[in-house]
Amino acid sequence: MILTVTLNTALDLTYRVERLVPHSSHRVTTVTERPGGKGLNVARVLTALGHDVTVTGFVGGATGEALRAGLSGVRDALFPVLGSTRRTVAVVDSSSGDTTQLNEPGPLITPSEWSAFLVSYEHLLTSASAVALCGSLPPGVPVGAYAHLVRGARAAGVPVLLDTSGEPLRRGIAARPDIVKPNADELAELTGSWEPLPATRAARRRGAHAVVASLGPNGLLAATPDGTWQATPAARVSGNPTGAGDSAVAALLAGLVSGNTWPKRLASAVALSAATVLAPVAGEFDAKAYAEFEAGVTVVEHADAA
């Protein structure tokens, strides 16, 4: 099974309005509520792709109960805590397709809850084929948490993908994860460079086995032991970009456990990400568009750095 870890789970609320106008009242046309957080979105996509997935992370309070009640198709190994699971609110402007996101910080995790979670995590690793560590850290969790979890996966012989930002990313990448997937802003913050190609290679020198940088509508750039490739979609798509990066993570994990080549993994990740933009909420994708987009992705190999 594939294990996804979402330390800061969330109950995602998506509001759709005809037009978002600051400083005014709005009539919401539709409301969607579902389990969220990056790793849960990844799990939902992996399940739709036919993979056996287990989810873990912290969950608590009435919001946490609602989150667990909404889980479907995945094995629930979420870890209960005293604090309350956060909510995130996405407001979608139907006229433009733009999305405004509001994210709560999450529950305070105590040292004893963190220690107990580590025991549960190590047990889950014994039956995992791969693990994804995704998203922000809730208050109380050590900033080096992901580095600890990466080392645990490596000790268990389980390939590990890290998708986070800031200092948790900086520390986590030094623990040598198999794949790191930053977006352009996270990559620049990590390396100090806004030039994608040298920044991606610089990030890999910090410890990751492979770095796959998300360039938004310009696709993905990957620096790997087998070479450096850029995968670009055939055309830009408009819609709700929330969760597009999580779908890319799902595709990269699926390709990893299936033993696909890097160009095939990247083509799938770009196509699945674009197909997610067409879906109304995170964790879903347009299956027909996914197949069409994958055929149109261009993958170009870059020459090795001098």
Query: What are the catalytic residues?
Result: 246
Phi, psi (deg, nearest 5) at residue 23: 65, 30
Amino acid making up residue 172: G
- Distance from C-alpha of 122 to C-alpha of 120, rounded to nearest angstrom: 6
Q: Which of 231, 262, 223, 268 is nearest to 247 (CA)?
A: 268
Sign of the Cα pseudo-torsion (22, 25, 30, 32, in order): positive
